[in-house]
Structure 1
Amino acid sequence: MKSTVEHLSPTRVRINVEVPFDELKPDFDRAYKKIAQQVRIPGFRPGKAPARILEARIGRAPVLDEVVNAAIPAKYQEAVVASDDVTPIGRPEIEVTEIADHERLTFTAEVDVRPEFELPELEGLTVEVDETEIGEDEVTEQLDQLRARFGTLAGVERAAQKGDYVQIDLSAAVDGTAIEEATTTGFSYEVGQGGLIDGIDEALEGMSADEEKTFTSTLVAGEYADREAEVTVKVTTVKERHLPDADDEFAQLASEFDTLDELTESLRERIGQSKRMEQAGQARDRLLEKLVEGTEVPLPESVVQAEVDSRAHDAVHAFDHDEDKFAEFLATQDKTREQFDAETREEAEKNVRYRLVLDALADREEISVGDQELTERILFQAQQYGMAPEQFVQQIQQAGQLGVIYQDVRRSKALIQAVRAATVTLPGGEVVDLSDLLGDDDADETVEEVPGEVVAESAEDVDGDAADDADTAEDKADAKA
C-alpha cells in the first residue's frame, strides 16, 4: 500500500491511499464467505459455494462493494499510523477515486488534525491566587451547621418564620382543573430553603397551624409546565429547631475532641485546607488561561462545529426540541437566538482551544496514564453518576468512551504538572507553596478536574461502514502522538 499526506491547512489534511489488489485477498475471502451465507445456490450448502460460482450467479459488483466497504477503514488506519505528523481529531470524509478491478483501489480521506503550535515555557509563568484569610464568622457558621445536625424540633404556638419546619398539605389547579402530581399531604418543609414552588416561602411566612392560603405560581414541570396555577397550601404544624449549647459537652458528643476550643480549632483548620484547595483550583484555572492567551492555536472547524451542535442540541432538548418554547425561554433571559448561537460558538471555540493546548502540553511533557490512574478515574465517575463500577465500565465501553476518559486524565495530569513548574503568588507577591496539594511529579493528581467543560474528544466515530476500524485508527494515532 502507498499513501501520501497533503496539508490543506494547519488543521486539515488529505490522505491519498493506493492499495494493490494483491493486498485485498483476505478481504475478498471474507466477502465471498459472507455472501455465500446469504445466497442460496442449488447443489451447495450455505456458505460453501465457490467464488467463481458466486460471481457467475450475482456478478462481480456486489463482491467489490463488500471488499471496498470492509477494506477502506483498515487501510485508512494503516495510512494514519504510518504517517509521522498526522493526529486525526475529527471524522474523515472518505471518497473512493478509483476501483481498477484486479489492479488497485484508490481513495482519499480528508480529516481535521491536531495542529502544531509553540507553547510557552512553564518555568517562566507566574499566576496569582487569592489570600486564604479565615473569618471568625466562617468558623461560627461551620459550628452552627454542626450543631444543627444534633438539633431537635419542637412545636410552637406562633406563626411560621424563616428557618422553621412546617408540615403542609399542597394542591394546585390550572383553570379549575386539579393537578394530581402537584398534590401532597403531610409534607415537611423548612421555610426559606427554596426549591419547592415559586412563592411558597413568601406564603408560609406568617402562617400558623391550621391556616390555609392560596397564591399564584408558574409550574415548571409536567403536563402543565409554564402554566399559571392556583396553589393552595395548608399548614398543619409549625416547629422550631433547638440547637445544643456550644460547649465542651457538645464537642464530646459531636466529635473526637474533649473541648469546644479543640473542636473550633479543627473547624478552622478544615476551612483553611478548603481555601488552600480553592487556591490550587485557581492556580490551575488561571495558568491554563495564561497558556491559552499566550498561544496562537488554529482551530479545526469540524471539531468546533461538532461541539456547537452538541451544545445547541442539549439546550433545545430541555424543551423537548420545541424551538418556539426555547425561543420563549431565551426571551425571558433578554437574549435572542442569534446571541445564543454566538455565545455557544464562543464557548465551543474556547473549550476546543483548551483541549488542544492541554494535549500539546501532555505531548511535550511526555505525560502517560497508568492503569491504576485510569481505574481510579472510572471509579470516581461511576460514583458521580450513582452507578455500579461494572455497569459504568460496560456503558463507556459500548459507547466507545474509554479513550475519552484516558485523555481526560492525561490532560488533568499535564495541567497539574504545569502548576508545579510555574510560580504561584499572592496579590502582594509572596510565593505560595502548593506542593502538598499537587503531589509528587510521579503521583496521581490531587486536583481532580480540568476546568470548565474541557472534556476529551480527540477520537470521534466515522459514519457508515467505516466506523469501527476508523475509530481504531484514530485511537492508535492518539497513542502514537
Structure 2
Amino acid sequence: MTDIKTTIKELPESEIEILCEVPTEVFEKERPIALKKVGEEVTLPGFRKGHVPEATLIQKFGEALILEEMANLAIDRAYPEILKKHKVHAIAMPAVAVTKLAMGNPFEFKLTFQVMPEITLPDYKTIAKEVMKGEEPTEANDEEVAQAEKELLKQFATKDADDKEVIPELTLELAQKFGPFTTVDEFKAKIHESLSHEKTNRAREKKRMQTMEKVADGMTVKLPKVLIDGEIDRMLAQFRHDVSQMGMKFEDYLATTKKTEDDLRKEWAPDAEKRSKVQIALGKIAETEKLEVLKEDLDREVNHILEQYKDADPARARIHLEMMLTNEKVFQFLEGQK
C-alpha cells in the first residue's frame, strides 16, 4: 500500500497525529477480502458458512458493515508502513479515528500516537565509574556457611522429650541427601561456593540499580502518563499472580487489607514512575552507545522461551527478550567504566 498519503503533525504532551488517505482504487481492492471475511464469520439459514452470496450479505447486514471491515483491513495493512515511513517510536497503540468512509471515495483516517519524549541524560559514564569503583566483600564467611548448613539440616530435625527441636549433626550420610558428595568438607565447600556466588550476584545487582537510579534522578524528561500507567498495570499483574500463588484470591486480599485496586495504583505510582525512568534511561544509553542485540542471540533466546512456554505469544516474547538482552548489554557497558 505504497500509494497512501500521510501528513504528520506534532501535538503537545509528546503526541503526534498522522492524517492518512488511501486512494479510492487502492481502498476498493479490500472489498472482496472484506466480503469473504464477513461471509466466513456469519451464519445464515440455507447457506453454508463462507458461501453466502454478496447480495444476500449486503441485504442482511447492510453496506456499512462491509465498509467497516474494509476500513479495518486497510488500517491494518497501512499501519506498519506508516510506522516505517515516519520512523515513529510509539510507546502505546495509537488512537484511531475514521474521518471519511464512503464507496467511490478515498478512505481517510487519523492516527494519534504517544511517542517517547525528549530525553537529556546526565553524564552516565562518570556516574557508573563512581558507583562501580567501590568493592563489597562477596565471599561467604564461616558464620554464613554455618547458618546455611543449619537451615538445610532442619529438614531432618526431631523433637526431644520436651518437644524442643533437635537439629542433627552433619554426617556424610546427611550430606549425600543433597548430592553425590564424597566428604562432609566437600559438602561445606559447595555451600560456601553457592553463598559466595549469591552474594556476588546481589552486589552486582545492587550496583547496577544504584547506577541507574542516579542516572534516572539526573535525567531530564517529562514522562507521559501512559508509560506510568503501563508500568502500574505490569506491577498489578505480577502482584495478582503472587497473591494467587499464596492460595489467596486478589479480591479477598483487597477485602482483608481494606483497600481498592485504585488505592494500590495510587500507592505504587511513585515506584512505577521511578521504574519507567530507569527503563527509558537504559533505552537511551543503548541508543547513544549503539548497543544492539545480535539477531541470532535473540532468536536463540526466543526459541528457548517458546519451547518452555508453549502458550507464549511469540511477538510479545520477542519484544520482552530484546529489551532484557539490551538492558544486559547496557549494564555490562556501564560496569566497564570502573
What TM-score do the two structures reach when normalised by structure 2? 0.75
Amino acid paired to 1:358: L
Supply the RMSD in Å over aligned alpha carbons.
Answer: 4.2
* Match for residue 366 of structure 1 among 288, 291, 303: 291
**Counterparts in 2 of 1:177-188, with a 5 A limit?**
none
Partner Cα distance (1:409, 1:328) in 2 = 36
Q: CA deviation at 1:96?
A: 0.9
SS in structure 2 at match of 1:17: strand
Amino acid paired to 1:326: L
Amino acid paired to 1:346: P
Amino acid paired to 1:75: A
**1:280 maps to what in 2?**
204
Q: CA deviation digits over 1:381-407, x for unaligned, max 9? A: x6xxxxxx6461x31128x52234323
Contact 2:138/2:199 (8 A) holds in 1: yes
Q: CA deviation at 1:322?
A: 4.6
Q: Structure 1 pair 59/343, CA: closer, same or farther in 2 (3 Å)?
A: closer
**2:324 maps to what in 1?**
409
* Match for residue 119 of structure 1 among 96, 106, 121: 121
Contact 1:374/1:406 (8 A) holds in 2: no
Q: Tell me whether 1:21 sits opposite 2:24 in the alignment.
A: yes
Q: Tell me whether 1:329 sits opposite 2:251 in the alignment.
A: no
Q: Tell me whether 1:355 sits opposite 2:271 in the alignment.
A: no
Contact 2:298/2:322 (8 A) holds in 1: no
* Match for residue 136 of structure 1 among 134, 139, 142: 142
Partner Cα distance (2:184, 2:234) in 1 = 55
Amino acid paired to 2:145: V
Contact 1:361/1:414 (8 A) holds in 2: no
Amino acid paired to 2:67: L
Q: Structure 1 pair 75/355, CA: closer, same or farther in 2 (3 Å)?
A: same
**Counterparts in 2 of 1:171-320, with a 5 A limit?**
240-244=166-170, 260=185, 267-309=191-233, 311=235, 320=249
State how many pairs are aligned: 323
Contact 2:293/2:322 (8 A) holds in 1: no
Q: CA deviation at 1:377?
A: 6.7
SS in structure 1 at match of 2:138: coil
Q: Tell me whether 1:159 sits opposite 2:162 in the alignment.
A: yes
Q: CA deviation at 1:133?
A: 5.9
Partner Cα distance (1:264, 1:320) in 2 = 41
Q: CA deviation at 1:256?
A: 5.2
Q: CA deviation at 1:339?
A: 6.5
Amino acid paired to 2:86: S
Partner Cα distance (2:204, 2:267) in 1 = 28
Larger strand proportion of the pair:
1
Q: Structure 1 pair 416/48, CA: closer, same or farther in 2 (3 Å)?
A: same
Contact 2:92/2:113 (8 A) holds in 1: yes
Q: CA deviation at 1:371?
A: 4.0
**1:463 maps to what in 2?**
none
Q: CA deviation digits over 1:154-204, x for unaligned, max 9? A: 674x1112xx2xxxxxxxxxxxxxxxxxxxxxxxxxxxxxxxxxxxxxxxx
Partner Cα distance (2:45, 2:9) in 1 = 47
Amino acid paired to 2:5: K
Partner Cα distance (1:420, 1:71) in 2 = 47
Q: Structure 1 pair 373/257, CA: closer, same or farther in 2 (3 Å)?
A: farther
Amino acid paired to 2:138: T
- Higher relative contact order, chain-length normalized (CA < 8 Å, sep 6+): 1
Larger helix proportion of the pair:
2
SS in structure 2 at match of 1:299: coil
* Match for residue 395 of structure 1 among 311, 314, 322: 311
Q: CA deviation at 1:251?
A: 8.4
SS in structure 1 at match of 2:216: helix
Partner Cα distance (1:373, 1:422) in 2 = 26
Partner Cα distance (1:46, 1:144) in 2 = 69
**2:89 maps to what in 1?**
87
Partner Cα distance (1:264, 1:24) in 2 = 73
SS in structure 2 at match of 1:95: strand
Q: CA deviation at 1:83?
A: 0.6
Partner Cα distance (2:283, 2:52) in 1 = 51
Q: Tell me whether 1:9 sits opposite 2:12 in the alignment.
A: yes
Partner Cα distance (2:53, 2:94) in 1 = 36
In the alignment, structure 1 segments of 5+ residues that lack a partner are: 165-239, 383-388, 424-481
Partner Cα distance (2:184, 2:61) in 1 = 90
Q: CA deviation at 1:94?
A: 0.8
Q: CA deviation at 1:142?
A: 4.0
Q: Structure 1 pair 266/94, CA: closer, same or farther in 2 (3 Å)?
A: closer
* Match for residue 335 of structure 2 among 420, 423, 436: 420
Q: Structure 1 pair 63/144, CA: closer, same or farther in 2 (3 Å)?
A: closer
Contact 2:117/2:222 (8 A) holds in 1: yes
Q: CA deviation digits over 1:360-392, x for unaligned, max 9? A: 22333331144445544774xx6xxxxxx6461
Contact 1:154/1:241 (8 A) holds in 2: yes
Contact 2:17/2:111 (8 A) holds in 1: yes
Q: CA deviation at 1:281?
A: 1.5
Q: Tell me whether 1:76 sits opposite 2:79 in the alignment.
A: yes
**1:106 maps to what in 2?**
108
SS in structure 2 at match of 1:343: helix
Q: CA deviation digits over 1:215-273, x for unaligned, max 9? A: xxxxxxxxxxxxxxxxxxxxxxxxx4421469xx998997756684x765665454433
In the alignment, structure 2 segments of 5+ residues that lack a partner are: none
SS in structure 1 at match of 2:113: strand
SS in structure 2 at match of 1:117: coil
Q: CA deviation at 1:101?
A: 3.3
Identity of counterpart residues, as a percentage? 21
Query: Which of 1 and 2 has greater Rg?
Result: 1
